[in-house]
Amino acid sequence: MNNPQPVAAAEVGNPLLPILQQQQTAFLDNGAPDYKQRIEALNKLKKAIGEYKEEIVAAVQADFGHRSDTETWITEVVSVLNEIVATKSHLKKWMKPSNPGRSISAGMAKSRVIYQPKGVIGIMGAWNYPVLLVLSPLIGVIAAGNSAVIKPSDLTPKTGEVVKKMIASTFDESYISVVTGDVEVASNFTQLPFDHIVYTGSTHVGKIVMKAAAENLTPVTLELGGKSPTIINSNYPIAKAVDRIMMGKFMNSGQTCIAPDYILVHESKVDELVSTFQEKLAKRYPTLDNNNDISWIVNDRHFTRITNLIKDAQDRGAQAVQVNPTDTVIAEGTRIIPPTLLLNVDPDSNIMQEEIFGPVLPVITYRDIDEAIRFVNERPRPLALYYFDQNKKQAEEVLSRTISGGACVNETMLHFANEKMAFGGIGPSGLGGYHGHAGFLEFSHKKSVIFQGALSPAPLMNNPYPKVVVKILKVVSKILS
């Protein structure tokens, strides 16, 4: 069983250290949970979500000021429950040691890979999906046999308190616990010598988390963001593409790390794209006030940030097309931003440098698909890429020529919804991945083990080396070369 990491002098005064030490002690005393115990923990979590689901929805609503109940039920409740059910159905198979095969170099000894829990995992969630983004990694953490300390986002405090109450009523704090608080608490959290840290949030904060974790040589899983591009080939029906882009872009008012961040469309299709968006968005959101389907921007700071991005783009020559069918005057304090398309956007404008995280969609035109691919590849690698094309061969080519954390062809966001696939970024958009089996592997130590039989190369490798060893090596090198 893994020993607790040594506590550095700087961590002695950390007020969160006793929580970690309590879990480390329990982990050492109790040993790794077996299959039955892990299933029991997953069942407890599932039951707790069922009991607290109404409180969860109400708390998220209160934190956002207003958020679509439907979207909260989909993302914060049902998707988490579905992931638990799927994990339970596969866990026994995942826990079995795997056989990597024998090797001549290892004397043809029997080999095995054993999956062991890493120990105590720190989970830092994000505000945009404040339940999903702490409970989804927790499922993988439990499945792999670890303990966990959870730090929900301080920007959604009411939801954080519900999660804290739910976990405290379900699990012993020496197994799973929740700490809430502001930036200072988050800073103390990252400095703890966890056995692994999972962080979901911005690239900027991700760098801070990774730097703090490096002091303890703590491995990290970073789920960040970036500017996920959407490319529409000229052969793809615009109306169908718009339907699918709308789902990904305007759910939670664009406050999704894998939301389409900008569109690349052939120059001959831009007018059709804009008119189709206007028509379909007007039907989707016939009014902006008293609309249960519209989620507010989470707080005043982010509301101001997004409006400033729009203004900066307009100051640089962009044309803003806002969809507000009833010309609703947005009441002060409601934090509603109408669905907005930006045309003729300067690539150097702020909105093309920052992740938008709002219902604003820049539209960039291209003349050929190579130009679109080059535009994507000249920028930091995104968390997701979306490509629309009726030509399967060409779609495969675009996927092979671009690098992103994940991708969808003729769809948006649903690669995240498949709990059987790893979810994660690359470079500035993230490090590592989880969900399903990938989560089990991410939070497991993969121990390579050799079981030697009667024969061993050891007698041939003891000094003084027999002359026959060199002869054998020369023959082997000749064969291998």
Active site residues: 223, 257
- Using the CB atoms, write b or e for 157-196: b if 16+ within 10 Å: bbbbebbbebbeebbeebbbbbbbbeeeebebbbbbbbbb
For 23, 150, 160, 260, the CA distances from 181, given in Å and listed in that order, are 20, 11, 9, 31
H or E, element range at 160: helix 157-168
Backbone angles phi, psi at 140, to 5 degrees: -65, -35
* Residue 403, phi-psi category: left (phi > 0), alpha (psi -120 to 50), beta (remainder): beta
Given a contact cutoff of 8 angstroms between Cβ atoms, the answer to whether 64 and 128 are in contact is no
Helix (H, G, I), strand (E, B) or coil at 257: coil
Calculate Rg over the CA atoms of the chain. 26
Which DSSP string do the residues of 52-97 spell out, in sequence order? Answer: HHHHHHHHHHHHHSS--HHHHIIIIIIHHHHHHHHHHHHHHHHHSP
Amino acid at 338: P
Helix (H, G, I), strand (E, B) or coil at 101: coil
Distance CA(278)–CA(372), nearest Å, equals 24
Tell me the pairing of strands 147-151 and 120-124. parallel
Q: Helix crossing, 157-168 with 35-64: angle to 10°?
A: 150
Backbone angles phi, psi at 124, to 5 degrees: -110, 115
Q: In what order do the strands lie in the sheet with 229-232?
A: 319-322, 340-343, 360-366, 262-266, 229-232, 384-388, 406-409
H or E, element range at 39: helix 35-64
Taken as a whole, the chain contains a residue count of 481
- How is residue 294 annotated by DSSP? P
Instruction: For tokens 């769809």, name the residue.
Output: 411
Given a contact cutoff of 8 angstroms between Cβ atoms, the answer to whether 184 and 191 are in contact is no
Distance CA(84)–CA(103), nearest Å, equals 37
Q: Helix crossing, 270-284 with 238-250: angle to 10°?
A: 50
Cα torsion 102, 106, 110, 114 to 10°: value is -90
Token output for 464: 């003084």
